[in-house]
Structure 1
Amino acid sequence: MTENDISKIVFNCGLKIHRKLGVGLYERVYEECLIYELQKAGLNVERQKHQHIEYEDLKVENAYKMDVVIENKVVLEIKSVENLTSFDKAQLKNYLRLGNYKLGMLLNFNQRLFKDGVKRIANGLDED
């Protein structure tokens, strides 16, 4: 299964959740529901995955924590905020680069239309 195949499943699961629950809940609620839906779809999902980084001769354990990693290919950062910020995008870009993942998705469930809160970010591509 490719990253694009996974991202389509993520979008459809997120849309289903958004339609049923609406906006205004904590990120944790959306995260749990999304993991439930992704696992129902047969995907391997890791939640709150810790990652180390290496800096010169130093290995920093638990340097950051990703909300969700699917099939060890796609990283999800789940939000429930008024607007995504440049920090949110930079954070996900770093997760992708440091973990050598190809695709990440920012999912902001606090938008009237779910599609307006979804941002795909590909590792190594400068897009805004």
Structure 2
Amino acid sequence: MNDFYLRDEAYAIIGCCMEVHKILGNGHGEIIYGDALEYEFQKNDIPYSRKKQFSIAYKDIVLPHYHFSDFLIFDKIILEIKAISKLSNNEIRQTLNYLAASKNKLGLLVNFGESSLVYKRVIL
């Protein structure tokens, strides 16, 4: 079996996402899934920050606007949640931008908007 970067941490996060999707299904907004995930992270002693702000450096300045990821988990993994009919390359690019801004290597892009939970590991 391949040894994935932050495998155990990623499995714990995806497990929480599966639990939320199992109970709520699809059709809710992202904020509802985020609230439920916050409950699951607390219940499972998973350290997280919600709506984590990341500065964007440009040449010799820091831009006045920021990226806000949905969650930063274990101080190492960006979790970006969606509630859309289907993921596209736009959401993957967004997650890559959050990874670049945060200096983290692993992002999880999770879509609650489909009948089955869909997730992608995004590596920078």
TM beyond 0.5: yes
Residue of structure 2 equivalent to 1:44? 47
- Does the CA-based 8 Å contact 2:77-2:106 persist in structure 1? yes
| Deviation (angstroms), 1:35 | 1.4
Q: Secondary structure at the match of 1:28?
A: helix
Query: Matched residues in 1 for 2:72 and 2:94: separation?
Result: 15
Q: Which structure 2 residues correspond to residues 31-110 of structure 1 after superposition, within 5 A?
A: 31-110=34-113
1:12-53 alpha-carbon deviations (Å, 9 max, x no partner)? 111111111111001100011111101211111100011101
Give percent identity, aligned residues only. 32
- Does the CA-based 8 Å contact 1:66-1:77 persist in structure 2? yes
What is the letter of the counterpart of residue 46 of structure 1? S
Query: Matched residues in 1 for 2:65 and 2:74: separation?
Result: 20
- Does the CA-based 8 Å contact 2:67-2:101 persist in structure 1? no
- Which sections of structure 1, spanning at least 5 residues, go unmatched? 124-128
- Which sections of structure 2, spanning at least 5 residues, go unmatched? none
- Does the CA-based 8 Å contact 2:54-2:67 persist in structure 1? yes
Query: Matched residues in 1 for 2:107 and 2:42: separation?
Result: 18
TM-score, length basis structure 1: 0.88
- Show structure 1 runs of 4+ deviating over 4 A: none
1:64-98 alpha-carbon deviations (Å, 9 max, x no partner)? 11100001100011100001111100010111122
Query: Matched residues in 2 for 1:4 and 1:39: separation?
Result: 20
TM-score, length basis structure 2: 0.91
What is the RMSD computed on CA atoms of the aligned residues?
1.2
Residue of structure 2 equivalent to 1:119? 120
Query: Matched residues in 2 for 1:89 and 1:12: separation?
Result: 21
